Amino acid sequence: MARDWIYPSLLILRFLLPNQALRNYPENEVTLLDSMSALGDLGWEAYPAEGWEEISVMDERNTPMRTYQVCNVMEANQNNWLRTSHIPRDGAQRVYIEIKFTLRDCNSLPGVPGTCKETFNMYYYESNNGNVWFIKESQYAKIDTIAADESFTQVDVGDRVMKLNTEVRDISNLSKKGFYLAFQDVGACIALVSVRVFYKKCPLTVLNLARFPDTVTGGDSALVEVHGSCVNDSEELELPRMYCSADGGWLVPIGRCVCRPGFQESEGQCQPCRPGFYKALSMDSYCTKCPPHSYSLQDKASECTCEKGYYRAELDPRSMACTRPPSAPENPISTINETSVALEWGPPRDSGGRGDVTYNVHCRKCPGDGRKCGPCGSGLHFSPRQFGLALAKVQVTDLLPHTNYTFSIEAVNGVSDQSPSPRQLTSVNITTSQTVSVTLMKRKSKDSITLALQGPESANGANVEYEVTYYEKNQRDQNYTVLRTRLNALTVDGLKPGTTYVFRVRASIDGGYGNYGGDIELETSHEDMLAIGDPNQPTILAVSIAGGIVLLIFLVACFVVSGRHCGYIKAKQDPEEEKMQFQHGRVKLPGSRTYIHPHTYEDPNQAVRDFAKEIEASNIRIERVIGAGEFGEVCSGRLKLPSKREIYVAIKSLKAGYSEKQRRDFLSEASIMGQFDHPNIIRLEGVVTRCKPVMIITEFMENGSLDTFLKKHDGQFTVIQLVGMLRGIASGMKYLSDMSYVHRDLAARNILVNSNLVCKVSDFGLSRVLEDDPEAAYTTRGGKIPIRWTSPEAIAYRKFTSASDVWSYGIVMWEVMSYGERPYWEMSNQDVIKAIDEGYRLPAPMDCPVVLHQLMLDCWEKGRSDRPKFGQIVNTLDKLIRNPGSLKQLANSSVWEDPITPELSSGTVEEWLDAIKMGQYKEQFTTAGYVTLDSVIYINSSDLGNMGVTLVGHQKKILTSIQSLQTQGTQVQV
Ligand code: AMP
């Protein structure tokens, strides 16, 4: 009877339930069981037999639907079970059970007893096995007690709209292969219309060009971390990851893929770039059009190919247009000044499309003496450099006189090396002047003048002939005389007494005269045999023959200066070394530019005005203190002059409270420095005198003073680098000596080094030797002298000459080769003077090439005329640089060239120590058991320290000598 109450409602239900074929499940649900889609018997088990009953009803399409129902409400103690077949869980840890059912309320059933129920229970049982035929009730795990939201109140519902109850429950953390569900009825009237079991997944998705697969959600509410894989033609930028949430949604995307070069993103995929387009980097978003002068013929291009004749430099971005080498520089201009030339040119008409144009200057020379033209070699000096010039100009110095040079200038840019075509060059031919020095030796009588002739310098034994033309001043049209000679002196007779004659000289080397130089005016004496020119004090008048025009200009300039300041005498420079420029108030032809001592000015401020440019203080920016000078701080900073590039400068300032004399002395350095213009002499930028503090501005030398610099980089340079530095210093000194300037304090501490390792001579103050230099010591004759750097004659009787500068240069060589070691180590000044006087000389520093030590020894010749001139030193160093093999033999390898270790083939330790002026350690050596020379040769510096020889200088001296002894021993053995 009870069943009858249910049937009508099921008939209504068939219209409420959708046809199974029409059922649409959400995308993220995977159905494990759906009772409504079972076509045949569901095969569920019901017990006891009078409990749940399977009923088929038809849906609106007459498709049978399987339902179970039970309605034993009239009897008490019901316990009816319905168990599904085994449901494999398919890897899911959490499954959902959706049940649709109807449930009658007990009140609507007439006469039912109080045992009638309105709920039922749902259970599950996990099992790996699909064939379990019996499960005890106690083995089931309860999922929930299910009650209806809506229940029948009447059997015949008429037009009442029935609601189907839908409940969803879930089970988590499943671990076995599958499970059974069970429904327990304890006395209700139920129709179980549909049971669907499903789990949730996060569906396959593509995000940020990464594909994330279908992913089953985790148990409980855990998130599952999933790594995506990049779609075709893309690559991982950062590992793509997402979390699959328990309810089947994707959360928190991290990382991404990007399309490979040659592809761009479109609708979640990577599409190839079209021909004519490219994409160079994965990170670029889109394909872009090929830049100018490039193309891509195929799709998927990651870069475009340059058109013929165009190139791309290694570091050029792919988006940059292809470029080509520049055309040749234009309109070169040369300005020759005796043996130097300033070359300037215009930029190339076509820069090739690049901004990195630099210039290289190539040089060939034709000596003009019949020898073949060839490369210029390394003797020339290019300032700022020969190759890689950023500005369109270069200064070339140290050219040979009377020589044809061809300078070929090429413009290059970042792609020049890639082009097979020859570089386009612009050439400049120049011919340097012959230099003839004409020396007025003496006036033999009132009617003759003797000229000493010398030059050209390059003649090197070639046949030189001089042609002297002279005439009485203002009488040229009437009479002039031409004399020729191959001798170096010429006496012109038959002149009128007390008369001014004009002489002109030109020279020829192996035929072919050069041009005449400027006019030289000389006056015969009134008295016979009046010696006005001492042969030891000749007036040297150098005539630059092919460069006559340049020279004349210079003469005019000198004349202006002399006109204003005639009558001054030189204050400190030694007359023997000087080429006098002024005599009896009349200008004589200068041999070369000559240094003018600031003391020759009555008003020293005028010297500053003449030689130093006044700079507005507002153009200077002081940045930091870099040193202390005699007169105040030395700072670094920047100087920006109108329409000039900003440059780094050193700024010396005169401290407050100075006396007038201090101001004069301070500024004297500027008026000396301002007269020099050479790549190896510190350059004066200008002075500030119109406001306080008074300042001297010079070029900035990044590496500071040479001695400190060398100590800091002990052992870090190649011999060639060291020789290069020495060459620079020698070249600067040659320039100074050519200008008749005697430095007097040449030492590594007074050389400055810039960032290119270029060494420049500095420290030109007048008072410096007296007060500034901490190395200067008082001599017995008074005056302060840096003893260790100074030649014996300068110490003994203040004979400062360029030859004494050469002595100091030898000491600088030693300082350089020993990386800033103190000359004569800890020896006292008195010991140094004595040792030098006795003929001892500094030994070669460690690893010093023998040729360099020999050059030092030459600089330390006792007789000053036996020392090389700076020009010779430059030449010697140039030869060494050209032939580095000559630097291979090290001085320390031969004892016989060690001047400090006497020639000891036998002898006692005591004699040896005496000989190297280390006699004070005799006792220490004896106490330590060193009694024969054989025994000392294995001593090292720590042995010396243990013995009590702790001064590093002494240790070095002893070890250097021991090295020599070792070699001596080796030689004896051989
Ligand atoms: P001075 O008064 O010329 O002996 O200079 C004192 C110190 O200042 C030197 O030893 C250098 O360290 C430093 N100095 C002087 N002039 C310059 C410069 N032009 N560039 C860099 N440092 C310099």
Give 896-915 pLDDT, tens digit per residue. 334 445 455 567 888 888 88
Query: Would you place residue 560 in the very low, low, confident or very high pLDDT band (cuts 50, 70, 90)?
Result: very low
Starting from the edge strand earliest in sequence, which strands make up the sheet with 205-207, in order?
205-207, 210-212, 229-230
For the Cβ of 698 lying below 6 angstroms from any atom of ligand 1, the answer is yes
Distance of CA 466 to CAs 279, 335, 462, Å? 75, 27, 13
Enumerate residues 6+ apart whose C-beta is below 8 A from 44: 54, 68, 82, 83, 84, 85
User: Is the model's pLDDT at 685 over the cut of 90?
Assistant: yes
Rounded CA-CA distance 424/421 in Å is 9
Among residues 398, 519, 738, 745, the one annotated as catalytic is 745
Instruction: Please name the amino acid found at residue 255.
Output: G
Across 283-402, the runs of DSSP E, i.e. the strands, are: 288-289, 294-295, 305-306, 330-337, 340-346, 358-366, 374-375, 381-383, 393-397
Query: Would you place residue 514 in the very low, low, confident or very high pLDDT band (cuts 50, 70, 90)?
Result: low
Instruction: Report which protein residue has its CA nearest ligand 1's atom 7.
Output: 627
Q: Quick: pLDDT tens for 378-419.
A: 788 899 999 999 999 999 988 887 788 899 999 999 999 999
Active site residue 745: yes
What is the chain's length? Answer: 974
**Local structure of residue 345 (DSSP, 8 states):** E
Rounded CA-CA distance 791/866 in Å is 13
Distance 633 CA to ligand 1 centre (A): 9
Query: Would you place residue 5 in the very low, low, confident or very high pLDDT band (cuts 50, 70, 90)?
Result: low
Distance of CA 794 to CAs 177, 724, 737, 801, 804, Å? 109, 28, 16, 8, 7
Phi, psi of 765 (to 5 degrees): -60, 150
Distance 795 CA to ligand 1 centre (A): 26
User: Is the model's pLDDT at 551 over the cut of 60?
Assistant: no
User: Is the model's pLDDT at 674 over the cut of 90?
Assistant: yes
- Mean per-residue pLDDT for 417-424? 90
Quick one: pLDDT at residue 4?
A: 57
Helix or strand (DSSP H, E) at 3:
helix 2-16
User: Coil, strand or helix: which one is 945?
Assistant: helix
For the Cβ of 705 lying below 6 angstroms from any atom of ligand 1, the answer is yes
First to last CA, the chain: 135
Q: Are 467 and 484 in contact (CB under 8 A)?
A: yes
Torsion, CA 661, CA 666, CA 672, CA 678, rounded to 10: 180
Tell me the pairing of strands 205-207 and 64-71. unpaired
Residue 493's CB is within 10 A of a number of other CB atoms, namely 10
Distance 651 CA to ligand 1 centre (A): 9
Task: Please give, one letter per residue, the 3-state secondary structure of 827-859.
Answer: CCHHHHHHHHHCCCCCCCCCCCEHHHHHHHHHH
Instruction: Report which protein residue has its CA nearest ligand 1's atom 4.
Output: 629
User: Is the model's pLDDT at 596 over the cut of 90?
Assistant: no
Query: Would you place residue 568 in the very low, low, confident or very high pLDDT band (cuts 50, 70, 90)?
Result: very low
Quick one: pLDDT at residue 897?
A: 36
The token pair at 41 is 């018997």
User: Is the model's pLDDT at 65 over the cut of 80?
Assistant: no
Quick one: pLDDT at residue 939?
A: 84
For the Cβ of 752 lying below 6 angstroms from any atom of ligand 1, the answer is yes
Ligand 1 atom nearest to CA at 749: 10
User: Is the model's pLDDT at 650 over the cut of 90?
Assistant: yes
Distance 746 CA to ligand 1 centre (A): 14
